[in-house]
Amino acid sequence: NLVPGPDAPPTPAIARLTNPVSMAYSRPGHSGWQHQVEILTPRDFLLDHFVVGLRTARGVDMQGLERVFHLPPGSLRAQLADLLDSWDKRGFVLLPAASTGEHPSSRLALKPAGRALLNPLLLELMEVLDHGGGLAESPESSALPDWPLPD
């Protein structure tokens, strides 16, 4: 739960657009445009990064997420340390190759065996995010993340 404190300034919402009713496409504002808007909580937005990123061989940029969510460096990996250790012991975690030049703690990627079992692993991740403390209690975390800027 990345929840803002009671004195946090108001910030714009992050939304997901879905088109569950129809696959009809037309210009916005016309009757065929059936998108629904779902306002995401910071917790859901963080989880979405893992849902999408862990499905790829490249994985998730942990340091990038800490910047986006205004978390202290290393705090995300620290909160997930027990979970990541469990995944590693089961042979699911892939560390970046030295040839990439990335620091090993900057990226979290899964081996193909881990990606094949991603949904149960995401449930384990959700449990840690929801009940693991740390991020939810971090005074440095903001109400909503910053959108990443291009490099």
Contacts (Cβ under 8 Å, ≥6 apart) of 134: 75, 78, 79
Q: What is the pLDDT of residues 62-119, one digit of tens each?
A: 989 988 888 888 888 888 989 999 999 999 998 654 445 555 558 899 999 999 999 9
> In terms of C-beta density within 10 A (0-12 exposed, 13-18 middle, 19 or more buried), how is residue 121 classed?
buried
pLDDT at residue 75, rounded to an integer: 86
CA angle 84, 89, 92 (to 5 degrees): 65
DSSP state for residue 28 in the 8-state scheme: T
